[in-house]
Amino acid sequence: MTTTRTPGFWADFARTHWETSPAHFPALLAPVLFPLDELFDAVTRMPPERMSGDRYWVSTTGRPASRDEFTTVPLDAHAPVVNDGDFAGFFRRATAEFPDRRIGINLHHLEKASPALWFRFRELVQAINTAVGAYPSDNWDIDTFIGTYKVSPLGIHKDNAGVFVTGLSGRRSYYLWPEDHFRPGDAALRTLDLDELKPHLDQAMRFDLEPGDLLYWPSSHWHLICSDGEPSVVLSVSAYFGKALSAVIGNQVRNLLAGCLGEDNDQDSYEIGSDANEPPAALAKAHRLTMQAAQGGQISDALQQYWIRFLSADGMHALPPDTAARLVTDRPIRVDSRYPIHFMRSAAGGLIVSANGVAITVATRHHAALEAMLQRLNTGTETSLAELIHQHARAPVTAEEVTSLVGLLNQCHAFRSAGDG
């Protein structure tokens, strides 16, 4: 059977399809990329803060024919909860809450509730990055679509992303069109009426997605998602492009300045001085701090941190640390050598260490000793905190310094067990 691990599989994909043409790989991830019950568990444990793209749509009619015939309802009141038991239980409740209506849920950043899901996708993402020879500039994003809609409430649309979607439950049909098929403002982009869309559907590339299949389409392609109206659940991982360099660098400078000036640095007014051409004191101070940050290496450090976070997550959004995790001294620990800890010396003097998208700056003067320890960890050899202290806590490096760094790495999920997903 063809698998994503077949040598050359992703190299062939990158040559033939990446940002060029859609591809459908039936049963490539069969039975499924991630167990449905574990996804249900993740969805019900998502933290209460929602992303702007997290939505629960409900149709206002039994047969919605336009985007306007879908409304959104609060996720907190209606999204899957533990008491539903599973997705089947959730769909039963949704049918009772919204009888004769079509529903759809889109949730992002599932890594906030499931490191296992994040690592499962990372395997795929790393293989693709390697084959393509590049990272998407605006990160890889994992999301899920859960619903009973016959036609996606998003209608025919295009994203600035190359999308991989895999089925977990139920069936869906994906209609894809190349970029030049529709013009912005085309009436077809507003309707969900399949009769009206028929001439376009007849010209589309259609792919029927079953659980375990993988479907890809490039960022250039318009898409419409349909189903028979039975419940279905899919997972997507999307490579978002087009991050503005000015935003990347601007954010680094903004964060640094906020650190110097305090987050609450809003100015109500600027005083007019004796020389109106002279910038006011507040602006001059902000400028001086920016220059100091450039000359002192802080801006360079921030950029290095940005990049090392990117590398240590293979371009995915950071895996949130588990700040409650505590390391037992004798517990065996091992870094998965596919996902090494990244580190570099900071221009301002410390050591920047990053695992799974989270960077820590360690204030140390013993770079070489700590780097030797990190290199040893990156070989993937099993060790323990006790052993690391024994081998690397030699004067001037203290056991506390080793314990602190290894503890932080543990909170950043740097150590994986054989049974981890």
Largest interatomic CA distance in the chain? 79
Question: What residue number has its CB nearest to Fe ion?
Answer: 159
State in angstroms the smallest separation of the CB of 223 from Fe ion.
6
HSE-CB at 268 with a 13 A cutoff on CA atoms is: 0
Q: Which residues pair with 225 in a beta bridge?
A: 174
Query: Based on CB atoms, which residue is closest to Fe ion, 136 or 340?
Result: 136
Options 156-164, 268-276, 282-290, 310-318: segment touching Fe ion (CB under 5 A): 156-164
Q: Give the range of 158-166, 259-267, 279-287, 349-357 binding Fe ion by CB under 5 A.
A: 158-166
> Least distance (Å) from Fe ion to the CB of residue 175?
12
Residue 19 or 159 having the CB closest to Fe ion = 159
| Cα angle value 203/236/86 (rounded, 5°) | 115
Nearest to 214 by CA among 88, 373, 32: 32
Q: Which phi and psi (to 5°) does residue 8 adopt? A: 85, -10
Say if residues 227 and 170 touch (Cβ distance below 8 Å): yes
Pairing of strands 70-72, 55-59: antiparallel
Nearer to Fe ion, 53 or 273 (CB): 53
- CB 420 to Fe ion: min, Å: 31
Q: Which is nearer to Fe ion, 163 or 355 (CB)?
A: 163
- Cβ closest to Fe ion, residue 159 vs residue 208: 159
**Cα–Cα distance measured from residue 132 to residue 381, given in angstroms and rounded to the nearest whole number:** 29
Q: Are 32 and 215 in contact (CB under 8 A)?
A: no
Listed residue (214, 219, 213) closest to 238, CA to CA: 219
137 or 160: CB nearest Fe ion: 160
Q: Shortest Cβ distance from residue 30 to Fe ion (Å)?
A: 24
- Of 151-159, 294-302, 354-362, 388-396, the segment contacting Fe ion by CB under 5 A is 151-159
Stretch that binds Fe ion, among 39-47, 104-112, 157-165, 405-413 (CB under 5 A): 157-165
3-state DSSP of 219-240: CCCEEEEECCCCCEEEEEEEEE
| Closest-CA residue to 383 (of 392, 395, 396, 394) | 392
Residue 217: CB minimum distance to Fe ion, A: 9
Least separation in angstroms between CB 74 and Fe ion: 23
- Are the C-beta atoms of 401 and 324 separated by less than 8 Å? no
For the bound state, the minimum distance from the C-beta of residue 159 to Fe ion, rounded and expressed in Å, comes to 4
What would the two tokens of residue 364 be? 């140390």
Q: How far is Cα 296 from Cα 284, in angstroms, rounded to an integer?
A: 18
159 binds Fe ion per the rule CB under 5 A: yes
Pick 160 or 290: Cβ nearer Fe ion: 160
Both tokens of residue 89? 């239980």
**109's tokens:** 């950043």
Question: What is the residue-wise DSSP string for 103-130?
Answer: EEEEEE-GGGT-HHHHHHHHHHHHHHHH
| Site residue total, Fe ion (CB under 5 A) | 1
- Where in 21-50 is the site for Fe ion (CB under 5 A)? none
Smaller CB separation from Fe ion, 102 or 392: 102
Using the minimum distance from each CB to Fe ion, give the nearer residue, 144 or 305. Answer: 144
Question: Which ranges in 133-230 belong to alpha helices (H)?
Answer: 194-203
Rounded to the nearest whole angstrom, what is the least distance from the CB of residue 154 to Fe ion in the complex?
A: 6
Instruction: Identify residues 47-86 at the interface with Fe ion (CB under 5 A).
Output: none
Name which of 125 and 165 has its Cβ closer to Fe ion. Answer: 165
Q: Name the phi and psi angles at 403, rounded to 5.
A: -60, -40
Give min distance, CB of 315 to Fe ion, in A: 19
**Mode of pairing for the β-strands spanning 140-147 and 205-209:** unpaired
Site string for Fe ion, 110-149 (x = CB under 5 A): ----------------------------------------
CB 157 to Fe ion: min, Å: 6
Nearer to Fe ion, 159 or 387 (CB): 159
Stretch binding Fe ion (CB under 5 A), from 80-88, 159-167, 315-323, 326-334: 159-167
Which stretch in 14-22, 57-65, 152-160, 311-319 sits in contact with Fe ion by CB under 5 A?
Answer: 152-160
> Please, are residues 413 and 321 in contact by the beta-carbon 8 Å criterion?
yes
Query: Residue 11, Cβ neighbours under 10 Å: how many?
Result: 14
Taking the complex as a whole, how short is the minimal distance between the CB of residue 412 and Fe ion, in angstroms? Answer: 31
Interface positions with Fe ion (CB under 5 A): 159
